[in-house]
């Protein structure tokens, strides 16, 4: 109960801080719009390749970009915790009776809220650009869930890494090294059957791929609920494993004070 309340206090604190940064708001609005317009236009003709089963590329790529943005949002989440350690804000919370779990959980809840809002925005824009989803409301809900379930483990891992490394430069390097390849080794932009064999194999163990496939299936006219169910379970399991790692990283930080 206390942990939940404290998590909410932290969430509000983080949301408020973001709302005070006009540049952050501008960038997080412009970035997904640019991606959608750019990728939607540049690759628009690849749907004509055999193997693509989509009415148009925007319909295909919109859920992909929603997941990509969620992945990046999660992957960069750890940067903030380094800033808070450096500014002494973290230790200030630790000397107060603050629920330890809430310190990380608050960041992740805030990130999830941002992920959902950003996803809704991109879906609206996608619709304007011609994306149509047969899966209806359920499909959209599953997409949101997939986005959150991909943001959470990477958010937790990013925080874990930040708590152990504690240098922004190193975290930037590691995130860059991981996030882009994960996106391109998944069917975010390209139909799985058209990717090289080795990429197809890699994407079997790529959570980004799990989540994009799940979302696309749910958004299509013939949702494969078995696939959706198993992938969601895998994502949830990954989330739990990452949460455990983040908790361990947090304890290692406490030991180092």
Ligand X SMILES: Nc1ncnc2c1ncn2[C@@H]1O[C@H](COP(=O)(O)OP(=O)(O)O)[C@@H](O)[C@H]1O
Instruction: Catalog residues that contact other proteins under the rule CB under 8 A.
Output: 5-6, 9, 13, 16-17, 20, 84, 87-89, 91-98, 254, 257
CA–CA separation, 32 and 246 (whole Å): 28
Give the count of beta carbons closer than 10 Å to the beta carbon of residue 180: 14
- Give least dist CB 202 to other proteins, A: 38
* Nearer residue to ligand X within complex by CB, 96 or 257: 257
Q: Where are the alpha helices (DSSP H) in 166-224?
A: 168-184, 197-204, 207-219
- Could you say which of ligand X, other proteins, none residue 98 binds, taking C-beta under 5 to 8 angstroms by partner kind? other proteins
CB atoms within 10 A of CB 11: 20
Query: Of 182, 124, 130, 125, which Cα lies nearest the Cα of 153?
Result: 182
Minimum distance, C-beta of residue 92 to ligand X, in the bound complex (Å):
16
Count residues contacting ligand X (CB under 6 A)?
2
Q: How far is the CB of 232 from ligand X (least distance, A)?
A: 41
Instruction: Quote the least distance from Cβ 165 to other proteins, whole Å.
Output: 16
Contacted entry of other proteins, ligand X, none for residue 17, CB cut-off 5 to 8 Å set by kind = other proteins
Spatial separation of the C-alpha atoms in residues 212 and 68, rounded to whole Å: 9
Site string for ligand X, 227-256 (x = CB under 6 A): -----------------------------x
Question: In terms of CB distance, is 86 or 134 closer to ligand X?
Answer: 86
Distance CA 165, CA 71 (A): 20
> Which residue, among 126, 125, 121, 124, has the nearest Cα to 57 in the 3D structure?
126
CB closer to ligand X, 163 vs 223: 163
User: Closer to other proteins at the Cβ: 40 or 106?
Assistant: 106
User: How many CA atoms, within 13 angstroms, populate the side-chain half-sphere of residue 235?
Assistant: 28
Give me the least distance between CB of 104 and ligand X, in Å please: 20
- Give residue number: closest CB to ligand X: 257
- Least Å distance between CB 149 and ligand X? 36
Query: Residue 211 and residue 238: Cα distance in Å, rounded?
Result: 12
Min separation Cβ 243 and other proteins, Å: 22
Nearer to ligand X, 133 or 253 (CB): 253
Q: Give 193's contacts (C-beta < 8 A, 6+ positions apart).
A: 51, 200
Q: Give Cβ neighbours of residue 88 (< 8 Å, ≥ 6 apart).
A: none
- Rounded Cα distance between 108 and 23, Å, is 21
Cβ nearer to ligand X, comparing 91 with 134: 91
257 forms part of the interface with ligand X (CB under 6 A): yes
Decide whether 176 or 254 has the Cβ nearer to other proteins. 254
Other CB atoms within 10 A of residue 151 CB: 30
Q: Which residues bind ligand X (CB under 6 A)?
A: 256-257
């Amino acid at each position: 109960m206390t942990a939940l309340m404290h998590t909410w206090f932290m969430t509000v604190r983080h949301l408020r801080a973001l709302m005070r940064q006009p540049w952050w708001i501008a960038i997080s609005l412009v970035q997904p719009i640019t991606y959608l317009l750019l990728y939607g236009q540049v690759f628009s003709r690849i749907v004509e390749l055999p193997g693509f089963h989509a009415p148009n590329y925007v319909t295909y790529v919109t859920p992909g970009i929603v997941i990509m943005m969620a992945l990046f949002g999660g992957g960069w989440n750890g940067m903030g915790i380094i800033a808070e350690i450096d500014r002494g804000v973290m230790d200030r919370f630790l000397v107060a009776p603050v629920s330890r779990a809430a310190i990380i959980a608050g960041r992740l809840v805030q990130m999830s809220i941002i992920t959902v809002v950003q996803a809704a925005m991109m879906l609206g824009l996608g619709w304007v650009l011609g994306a149509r989803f047969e899966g209806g409301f359920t499909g959209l809900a599953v997409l949101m869930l997939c986005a959150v379930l991909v943001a959470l483990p990477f958010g937790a891992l990013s925080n874990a890494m930040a708590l152990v490394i504690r240098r922004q430069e190193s975290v930037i390097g590691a995130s860059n090294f991981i996030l882009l390849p994960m996106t391109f080794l998944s069917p975010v932009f390209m139909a799985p059957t058209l990717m090289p064999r080795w990429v197809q194999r890699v994407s079997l163990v790529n959570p980004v791929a799990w989540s994009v496939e799940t979302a696309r299936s749910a958004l299509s006219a013939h949702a494969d609920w078995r696939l959706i169910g198993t992938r969601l379970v895998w994502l949830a399991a990954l989330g739990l494993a990452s949460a455990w790692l983040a908790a361990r990283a947090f304890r290692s930080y406490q030991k180092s004070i």
